């Protein structure tokens, strides 16, 4: 039966009659990468582009991310789309802290990445001043194709992340550089 539905490829492994052996972290990476639950933290125009990304034309659900999580507890990916004022910084950090590990952060748009055109007293000059960021999507605002590209790069990170990464001293050092733990 012919179909154009693409199914995720199984990781490389050893196969026999009724059994299949592969690496645990590859299997977990496969499952995680294709079921990322995003938490949209949308504050301005990039949020509108993100809505277009979720809509039927671009349809982020194709990448296993149709389930928006509006509770940080059940979210895997924090998507920050829009200008973050300095007063919003502690709120953003609180949301990040409420997410359970493993967690990833996608910074969408010039404002979230670097403050954008708002080089001024009230705007945070990039969210990486308060939380660690995994992938940056530039643009003012970025098109939905760019946001999808950023999410696919996140998928790549998720798929290939070693299981011990979140326990490593480098990761602890990264978090403590942001004053977390």
By C-beta, is 71 or 120 nearer to another protein? 120
Tell me the two tokens of residue 80. Answer: 């920050």
Are 50 and 147 a contacting pair, CB within 8 Å? yes
Please report how the helices 144-159 and 24-33 are oriented relative to each other, as an axis angle in degrees rounded to 10: 160
Tell me the window of 22-30, 34-42, 117-125, 146-154 that interacts with another protein (CB under 8 A): 117-125
Q: Which of 65, 69, 114, 155 binds another protein (CB under 8 A)?
A: 114
Q: Is 87 in the site for another protein (CB under 8 A)?
A: yes
Helix (H, G, I), strand (E, B) or coil at 124: coil
Are 10 and 22 a contacting pair, CB within 8 Å? yes
By C-beta, is 100 or 117 nearer to another protein? 117
| CB 176 to another protein: min, Å | 22
Q: Is 19 in the site for another protein (CB under 8 A)?
A: no
Q: Which of 71, 74, 94, 122 binds another protein (CB under 8 A)?
A: 122
Are 122 and 84 a contacting pair, CB within 8 Å? no
Distance (Å, whole) CA 87 – CA 43: 13
Distance (Å, whole) CA 99 – CA 72: 5
Tell me the window of 35-43, 69-77, 118-126, 134-142 that interacts with another protein (CB under 8 A): 118-126
Distance (Å, whole) CA 30 – CA 160: 9
Q: Is 43 in the site for another protein (CB under 8 A)?
A: no
Tell me the two tokens of residue 158. Answer: 């998720």
By C-beta, is 43 or 114 nearer to another protein? 114
Q: Which of 25, 32, 35, 86 binds another protein (CB under 8 A)?
A: 86
Considering only CA atoms, which of 49, 13, 11 is closest in space to residue 30? 11
By C-beta, is 29 or 141 nearer to another protein? 141
Q: Is 94 in the site for another protein (CB under 8 A)?
A: no
Q: Which of 120, 160, 167, 172 binds another protein (CB under 8 A)?
A: 120
Main-chain dihedrals φ then ψ at residue 92, nearest 5 degrees: -60, -45
Residues that bind another protein (CB under 8 A): 86-87, 114, 119-122
């Amino acid at each position: 039966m012919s179909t154009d539905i693409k199914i995720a490829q199984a990781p490389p492994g050893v196969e026999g009659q009724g059994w299949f052996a592969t690496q645990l972290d590859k299997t977990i990476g496969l499952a995680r990468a294709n079921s990322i639950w995003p938490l949209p933290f949308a504050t301005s125009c990039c949020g509108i582009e993100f809505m277009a990304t979720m809509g039927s034309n671009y349809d982020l659900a194709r990448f296993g991310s149709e389930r928006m999580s509006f509770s940080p507890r059940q979210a895997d990916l924090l998507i920050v789309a829009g200008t973050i004022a300095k007063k919003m910084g502690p709120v953003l950090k609180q949301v990040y802290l409420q997410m359970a590990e493993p967690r990833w952060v996608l910074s969408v748009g010039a404002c979230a990445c670097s403050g954008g055109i708002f080089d001024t007293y009230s705007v945070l000059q990039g969210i990486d001043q308060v939380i660690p960021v995994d992938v940056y999507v530039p643009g003012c605002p970025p098109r939905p194709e760019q946001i999808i590209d950023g999410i696919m790069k996140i998928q790549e990170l998720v798929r290939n992340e070693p299981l011990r990464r979140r326990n490593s001293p480098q990761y602890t050092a990264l978090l403590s550089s942001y004053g977390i733990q």
